[in-house]
Chain A
Amino acid sequence: AQKITQTQPGMFVQEKEAVTLDCTYDTSDPSYGLFWYKQPSSGEMIFLIYQGSYDQQNATEGRYSLNFQKARKSANLVISASQLGDSAMYFCAMRELNTGNQFYFGTGTSLTVIP
């Protein structure tokens, strides 16, 4: 079974609008962390935001927020006020306490911001 599922291969958003990128995960470990990375066309992976399984509040980092619904095992990334520079691939990832230092990545969502 896939540990991380991203069901949106591609998304489009108008500049200055908000967009939600979906991510669901599968784990039986009560202790886990969820991460979002951005990959521009240059290929580098840029860490955006983190959510821990025991965190009571949704994580926020500037224009990025994570809509964490633990019962539904979803960790959607919300980007507010989209900018042209947000066009990139976005990957959701998970790290489980029991598997120590392995990270599991989804297949990614390609976001295009339209001017």
Chain B
Amino acid sequence: DGGITQSPKYLFRKEGQNVTLSCEQNLNHDAMYWYRQDPGQGLRLIYYSQIVNDFQKGDIAEGYSVSREKKESFPLTVTSAQKNPTAFYLCASSILSGLVYNEQFFGPGTRLTVL
């Protein structure tokens, strides 16, 4: 079955540590995205990538880093520079096209808690 997987589902980290969230898709989508969601809030874009080895900052990129070495994978690293990293993180992908009707597909999310 095609889809997006994120691991782990729950992640705990000590303050000051970097942590990497995994995102893999087998939908053959070119575009991938990372969002942050705080309780009761909407989605805020962290980074997105339209092609391998290229990515763009979203609205809240500070304290985060990404890589796109393979089309299927778009890992997100939450660095110690991120002041308030406790949140729910969603990865998504979409077909890259000049059309607007292609929706985003989402992974199940990773809930990160900083202790």
Contact A95 B108 (CB under 8 A): no
CA of A110 to CA of B41, assembled, Å: 10
A-contact bits for B93-107, CB 8 A (1 contact / 0 none) = 010101111111110
Contact B42 A44 (CB under 8 A): no
Known A-B contacts A43-B109, A47-B105; A107 and B41 likewise in contact (beta carbons under 8 Å) = yes
Query: In the complex, what residues of A have CB within 8 A of residue B43's CB?
Result: 91, 105
Of the residues A35, A45, A52, A106, contact of B90 by C-beta under 8 Å = A45
B-contact bits for A86-112, CB 8 A (1 contact / 0 none) = 000001010111001111011110100
Query: In the complex, what residues of B have CB within 8 A of residue A100's CB?
Result: 50, 96
Contact A102 B45 (CB under 8 A): yes
**Closest beta carbon of chain B to A26's beta carbon, Å:** 15
Of the residues A32, A43, A91, A105, contact of B100 by C-beta under 8 Å = A32
Task: Kindly report which residue of chain A lies nearest to residue B98, judged by CB atoms.
Answer: A97
Give chain B's interface residues, CB within 8 Å of chain A: 31, 33, 35, 40-43, 45, 48, 50, 88, 90, 92, 94, 96, 98-106, 108-109, 111
Contact A96 B100 (CB under 8 A): yes
Task: Kindly report which residue of chain B lies nearest to residue A96, judged by CB atoms.
Answer: B100
Contact A44 B109 (CB under 8 A): yes
**Closest beta carbon of chain A to B91's beta carbon, Å:** 10
Known A-B contacts A50-B101, A97-B100; A105 and B42 likewise in contact (beta carbons under 8 Å) = yes
